[in-house]
Amino acid sequence: MAITDTPAGTTARAALQQPPRQRPRGGRARKTAGDWLILLVAVLIGLLIAVPFLLILANSFKSPADYATGGPLSLPTSLSFDGITAFWERVDFPRKLWNSFFISAVVAVLAVGISMFNAFALGIGRVRGRTWLVLLILLANMLPQEVLLYPLYFMFREVGLYDNVWAVIIIFTVIQSAFGTYLLASVYGTFPKELLEAASLDGASRWQILWRVIFPISRPTLSVLLIFFFIWTWNEFLIPLTFLVGNDNQTVPVAITVLQGDRLMDVTTTSASALLGLLPTLIFFLIFQRTLTRGITAGAVK
Amino acid sequence: MAIATRSKERAKRPTTSLIPGSSRSSFWPYLVPGLALLTFIIVIPLLWNVYLTFTSYRGIRPPEFIGLENWVELFGDTTFWTSFRNSVAMIIAMVVVPTVVGLVLAAMLFDLIGRKFGGRLASFLRATYYLPQILPGVIAAIVIGWILRPENGALNQVLAAVGLGGLQGNWLGDPDTALPSIMVIMVWVQLGYPVVIFMAALQRVDPELYEAAELDGANWFQRFRAITVSIIRPEIFVVTLTCAIAALKVFSPIYALTGGGPGTSMIVPAYYAYSEFFQSQQVGYGATIATALTVVIAVVSIIFVLVQTRLERSEEAR
């Protein structure tokens, strides 16, 4: 950290951590009819986007009888937790929640690490042929996932990792780090040169420069990647569905989808399952919302 | 890239690493873990698939070499071309509309609502727009399917309630409304992503530039085009490329909403490959569809990255 306290370092950090610019000037008073109209449009769009979520919320707490009489649009006449408890118990929800959490968290950390190493070589090291290397790595993101299913099924079965969460963790580490490498390599390509020069004059090795200069300064961008990777992995469906066949290994989205075929599922239970499936990522998103905006601003693509 | 500009570009291209005294090749060890994993998880399965495209393989007996038969069949396959026509619709719904509308919304939220009504309201609206992005795709499909279903679906009930009962329909089951319905759903899913990225990027724009332009008599749209769009261009690239890749390989909403139907009218390449792989057990043909799709995505991405690199370089040269 000492290195970043050089004048160049402080400027760079200040520039990177600049708070969002607000313009109090211009006065909150000067609001024309046009401004109100635009606000109205923006709020209406927001409402329209939120409608399905409000419907989930309203119907998750209804009893099946209440739904049968009032239909999907009415508010529940009394709070019923039947749907939620029915779903919770039927799928052993805590177990699925832990699986999803464990897979997403491990993938997020590993993928950020791999992205950082890759981007260090590509963006800072500028190794020969880096544009084509980025494209090769991006292949992981470009491939339709169906391509991977047959070959990886045979490969993982061979090494005894089929129906094991680690198979899914390895696959998504590669897929997510492709996006991370693409974004970070371009951020690192414009990394303040003075900082790197100062560090290397101080006799720091490449490894030390990576951990003591580049890592702390790009931390906001790395946190954004961490959040994206977590949410994206959480929401993945096809590969967990294929590789985690055992009931004990399933993730939340897979468990919910598998239940849809169940004849015993009524609408309120379906709605409750959607609510429980969405809640963890929603909470995660609300906690890290601030990091998200600050981070993208700081590193951004350039 | 035109050949004429090639030598010029070469000369401009930096040939040293950013760390003085470290040669470019000394960075290779850092690529080893990433490239090793990539080889096993991506490259080998991809080559395996390319091999399967030249075989007839039903998953049980070993693959039988049949040369180019799958590829010949593919080019005459109307379902395959339908799936790509639907891909174009997906690009409109997942790339063009969200990027353009997202750009306008982000500018509106940041520049107008954030400034005149407070940043809190702007962040709240942004979070609302982003909601569908954090919803797992299959769950979104379940909820939407339930809203749009013909008997007692929420949308039909709303239409009946406001006296537009005549407009009620079997939204996803009718070939005429299935495509537009899915397009609207995909816009809903995708819109929040550009808004969040663009709003963050807008914080880089110097407000004084705007004030200067305002003094010069530029109207909102002129300022938007000349200042906003040019400054956040890198983000526009990232958003367009990642959305385009997502649109070309879209799978789970189609899988969960309509299963490619009614009939095969809403089939997309990724779903077509999936159904050949796992429903018809025509693994060789499924691999051919998937490989063709990969080639299309790769070509689009290569063009994108090359154009982006070129613009970045001409920017640096200035």
Select from B21, B138, B146 the Cβ nearest to the Cβ of A267.
Answer: B146
pLDDT of A302 higher than 60: no
pLDDT of A56 higher than 50: yes
- Residue B205: its pLDDT value, please? 75
Segment A101-112, tens digit of pLDDT: 999 999 999 999
By CB atoms closer than 10 A (0-12, 13-18, 19+), residue A172 is buried
> How do the domains of chain A map onto residue ranges?
81-299
The average confidence (pLDDT) of chain B is 85
- Residue B35: its pLDDT value, please? 96
Contacts of B247 in chain A (CB under 8 A): none
Touching A: B residues 162-221, CB under 8 Å: 188, 191-192, 196-197, 199-201, 203-204, 207
Contacts of B14 in chain A (CB under 8 A): 126
Distance CA B69, CA B58 (A): 15
Segment A171-224, tens digit of pLDDT: 999 999 999 998 888 888 878 888 888 998 988 899 999 999 999 888 878 888
In sequence order, the β-bridge partners of residue B65 are B55
Select from B38, B48, B154 the Cβ nearest to the Cβ of A174.
Answer: B38
Q: Do A114 and B34 touch (CB under 8 A)?
A: yes
- Residue A265: its pLDDT value, please? 63
Residue B65: phi and psi, rounded to 5, are -70, 125
Decide: helix, strand or coil at residue A76.
coil
Cβ proximity of A29 and B103 under 8 Å: no
Between helices A7-17 and A267-299, what is the axis angle to 10°? Answer: 150
Task: Report the largest interatomic distance among the alpha carbons of chain B, rounded to a whole angstrom.
Answer: 76
Segment B238-249, tens digit of pLDDT: 889 889 999 999
Residue B44: pLDDT band (50, 70, 90) is: very high
pLDDT of A20 higher than 50: no
pLDDT of B11 higher than 60: no
**Chain B nearest CA to A219, separation (Å):** 16
Q: What is the 3-state secondary structure (H, E, C) of A137-169?
A: HHHHHHCCCHHHHHHHHHHHHHCCCCCCHHHHH
- Residue A92: its pLDDT value, please? 87
Mean pLDDT in residue range A41-51: 92
Cβ proximity of B269 and B246 under 8 Å: no
The answer regarding whether domain B80-317 maps to CATH 1.10.3720.10 reads yes
Touching A: B residues 139-158, CB under 8 Å: 139-140, 142-144, 146-147, 152-154, 157-158
Q: Do A253 and B43 touch (CB under 8 A)?
A: no
Residue A16: pLDDT band (50, 70, 90) is: very low
Give the whole-number percent of chain B exceeding pLDDT 90: 35
pLDDT of B2 higher than 70: no
Segment A225-265, tens digit of pLDDT: 898 899 899 989 889 988 998 888 999 988 888 877 665 56
Tokens 């009524």 -> residue: A266
Contacts of B280 in chain A (CB under 8 A): none
Select from B45, B249, B293 the Cβ nearest to the Cβ of A152.
Answer: B45
Task: Report the largest interatomic distance among the alpha carbons of chain A, rounded to a whole angstrom.
Answer: 77
Segment B85-96, tens digit of pLDDT: 999 999 999 999
Interface check for A50 against chain B (CB to CB < 8 A): the answer is yes
What element of type H or E holds A48?
A: helix A33-60
Distance CA B58, CA B73 (A): 17
> How do the domains of chain B map onto residue ranges?
80-317
Residue A159: pLDDT band (50, 70, 90) is: very high
Distance CA A83, CA A81 (A): 6
pLDDT of A301 higher than 70: no
pLDDT of A298 higher than 70: no
Distance CA A161, CA B159 (A): 51
Segment B55-97, tens digit of pLDDT: 998 877 888 899 889 999 999 999 999 999 999 999 999 999 9
**Chain B nearest CA to A232, separation (Å):** 8
Interface check for A204 against chain B (CB to CB < 8 A): the answer is no
pLDDT of B164 higher than 90: no
Residue B187: pLDDT band (50, 70, 90) is: very high
Mean pLDDT in residue range B193-214: 82
CATH architecture of A81-299: Orthogonal Bundle (1.10)
Interface ipTM: 0.81
Select from B46, B130, B191 the Cβ nearest to the Cβ of A143.
Answer: B46
Cα B136 vs. chain centroid, distance in angstroms?
Answer: 16
**What long-range pairs does B44-49 form, CB within 8 A, spacing at least 24?**
B44/A151, B44/A155, B45/A147, B45/A148, B45/A150, B45/A151, B45/A152, B45/A155, B46/A139, B46/A143, B46/A147, B46/B294, B48/A150, B48/A151, B49/A147, B49/A150, B49/A151, B49/B287, B49/B290, B49/B291
By CB atoms closer than 10 A (0-12, 13-18, 19+), residue B165 is exposed
Distance CA B149, CA B172 (A): 7
Contacts of B116 in chain A (CB under 8 A): 26, 28, 30-31, 35
- Residue A263: its pLDDT value, please? 57
At CA B253, angle to CA B252 and CA B254, rounded to 5? 90
pLDDT of A285 higher than 50: yes
Mean pLDDT in residue range A130-143: 90
Interface check for B284 against chain A (CB to CB < 8 A): the answer is no
- Residue B149: its pLDDT value, please? 81
Cβ-based neighbour number of residue A33 at 10 Å = 7
Q: Which residue on chain B is closest to A110 by alpha carbon?
A: B34
- Residue A44: its pLDDT value, please? 94
What CA dihedral angle connects A174, A180, A183 and A185, to 10 degrees?
A: -80
Contacts of B108 in chain A (CB under 8 A): 38, 42
Interface check for B17 against chain A (CB to CB < 8 A): the answer is yes
- Residue A262: its pLDDT value, please? 62
Cβ proximity of A199 and A3 under 8 Å: yes
Touching B: A residues 163-202, CB under 8 Å: 170-171, 173-175, 177, 179, 181-183, 186, 191, 193, 196-197, 199-200
Contacts of A56 in chain B (CB under 8 A): 143
Segment B283-296, tens digit of pLDDT: 899 999 999 999 99
Distance CA B288, CA A147 (A): 10
Touching B: A residues 77-106, CB under 8 Å: none
Mean pLDDT in residue range B211-223: 83
